[in-house]
Structures are given as C-alpha cells and as structure tokens.
C-alpha cells in the first residue's frame, strides 16, 4: 500500500490543489489527512470539500475543533483567533458537519494517525523537543505514528540505542525501530521553506519520503488580503514561517 499523507492545509486551496496534483503523479493508493483543514487561509469551504472528496481517512486538528467550538481558542494567537472567528461565519453547514464527525485518531495497517501527539490528542501538544517525543512513544503501540500540528517535518525514533530524532527527505524504516513522523504542512510551512509539504509511505518497501512542491503563493496571499484577514497571514506564506 502506498499512502499519501498530508496535514495543516489551513484553508490554502492553492497549496492543497498542488499537493493533490503531485500525489496523483505518485500513484498513491490512499490519501490520509491529519487535520487542520481550516484556519488562517481564505478558502475553508473549498478545502473541506476537496479533502472530503479525496481522503480515505481524516482526523481532526485544533483549528477544526476551534471553528466548531469544541476546543478553546483563548490560547490561539490573535491572528489565528481572528481567522477562526471569520471561518465560523462563512463555513457551510455541510462542511461543519464533516469536521464535526472527524475522530482524533485513526489506525490502518499497524500505523497510527493523529494531528498533534498520541500522548493526549485533544491537548494539542507540539512534538518538537526530544522530551515530548519520548513521552509520546509510551502512549501508543504501533511501529509508526504520523502527525502534523507543528508545521515542521521531523522524525523521532525509539530503538535499541534509545531515543533520537532527525530530519531527512527519504529513509527506510528499521524493523527494530519505532517512529513518529511529522509530515510537515501543506498550507503554512514554518521551517523557512515556503513550499507545500506532504509525505509518502510505502508499506511494501517501508520507505518514507517527505516531499516539497512549489505552489501559487501569490494567489493564496491575495485571497487572504481580499478576505480582510490579518495581512501577516499572507506575508508569512512567502517566508515559510
């Protein structure tokens, strides 16, 4: 099975369409979305409908829950909260219902999928530090867990020699090692690389690839500004931050 796994679209239709276009050329068998379909960007309805049309599995992210009122947005940044409130006003009922039906975790082929951390999915923990990675491994049994949330591609490992982490575009799973793979962000990368990110996972070859593709950033920026959303949400797209 060849999976195309993507996360953190954040209402960026241009980035999402570009990723789906690339996934089609990669001939994946199944599309999996790790949440945060909405938030920040100007096309929440279009992105929800597009994901619903292609993704076999999908989990909820904190911005999805925030728009639904299922999690507090009090700890969101000012611009993030403003985007959530704007999205609440324009999100169609059918798309709200789709988001409301999303679980916090999904499992397939001995693999766990979650937006933030398997340690406590609804607490929206950022898996950035080694200590958080170590705590997360204790809370799931699968060999590999795919996450999003931090918008930063990063791989944590647990093996015979202990815990580790690394960044790499492509690697093959070691049968004696467990993994947590952050797939990066489609619509709002934060690692100083503005290209949309997604991940391929081949269960036969056991290869994981983190792929970056350029997209029409200027159009996405223009839409954000025209929608009256905070201009900084448009500016950050070009910088990958």
Domains annotated on the chain, with CATH: 2-239 (3.60.21.10)
CA angle 125, 130, 136 (to 5 degrees): 50
State the pTM of this model. Answer: 0.96
Q: Outline where the chain has alpha helix (H).
A: 13-25, 44-54, 62-68, 78-90, 93-100, 130-137, 217-226, 231-239
Query: What average pLDDT score do residues 210-230 get?
Result: 98
Whether residue 48 is predicted with pLDDT greater than 90 in this model: the reply is yes
Query: What average pLDDT score do residues 80-92 get?
Result: 97
Per-residue confidence at 70, pLDDT binned at 50, 70, 90?
A: very high
Whether residue 109 is predicted with pLDDT greater than 90 in this model: the reply is no
State how far Cα 97 lies from the chain centre: 20
Q: Among all chains, which residue has been given the structure tokens 């993507």?
A: 6
CA distance readout (Å), 225 to 54, 101, 219? 28, 31, 10
Q: Among all chains, which residue has been given the structure tokens 């796994």?
A: 5
Predicted local distance difference test score (pLDDT) of residue 47: 98
Whether residue 63 is predicted with pLDDT greater than 90 in this model: the reply is yes
Predicted local distance difference test score (pLDDT) of residue 241: 87
How far apart are the C-alpha atoms of 119 and 112, rounded to whole Å?
Answer: 12
How far apart are the C-alpha atoms of 42 and 13, rounded to whole Å?
Answer: 8
Query: What average pLDDT score do residues 182-187 get?
Result: 98
Q: Among all chains, which residue has been given the structure tokens 């009090």?
A: 74
Whether residue 161 is predicted with pLDDT greater than 90 in this model: the reply is no
Per-residue confidence at 128, pLDDT binned at 50, 70, 90?
A: very high
Predicted local distance difference test score (pLDDT) of residue 7: 98
Task: Say which DSSP state 191 is in.
Answer: S
Sheet with 105-108, strands from edge to edge, namely 105-108, 111-114, 144-147, 178-182, 154-159, 162-166
How far apart are the C-alpha atoms of 159 and 107, rounded to whole Å?
Answer: 22
């Amino acid at each position: 099975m060849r999976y195309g796994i993507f996360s953190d679209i954040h209402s960026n239709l241009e980035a999402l369409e570009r990723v789906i276009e690339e996934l089609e050329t990669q001939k994946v068998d199944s599309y999996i979305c790790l949440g945060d379909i909405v938030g920040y960007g100007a096309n929440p309805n279009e992105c929800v409908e597009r994901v619903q049309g292609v993704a076999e599995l999908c989990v909820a992210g904190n911005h999805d829950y925030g728009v639904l009122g299922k999690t507090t947005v009090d700890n969101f940044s000012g611009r993030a909260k403003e985007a959530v409130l704007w999205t609440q006003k324009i999100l169609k009922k059918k798309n709200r219902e789709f988001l409301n039906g999303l679980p916090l975790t999904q499992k397939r082929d001995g693999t766990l999928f979650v937006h933030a951390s398997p340690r406590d999915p609804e607490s929206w923990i950022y898996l950035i530090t080694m200590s958080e990675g170590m705590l997360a491994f204790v809370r799931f049994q699968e060999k590999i867990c795919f996450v999003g949330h931090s918008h930063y591609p990063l791989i944590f490992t647990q093996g015979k020699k202990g815990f580790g982490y690394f960044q790499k575009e492509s690697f093959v799973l070691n049968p004696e090692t467990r993994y947590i793979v952050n797939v990066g962000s489609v619509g709002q990368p934060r690692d100083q690389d503005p290209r949309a990110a997604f991940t391929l996972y081949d269960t036969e070859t056991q290869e994981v690839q983190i792929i970056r593709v350029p997209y029409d950033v200027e159009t996405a920026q223009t839409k954000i500004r025209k929608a009256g959303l905070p201009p900084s949400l448009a500016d950050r797209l070009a910088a990958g931050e």
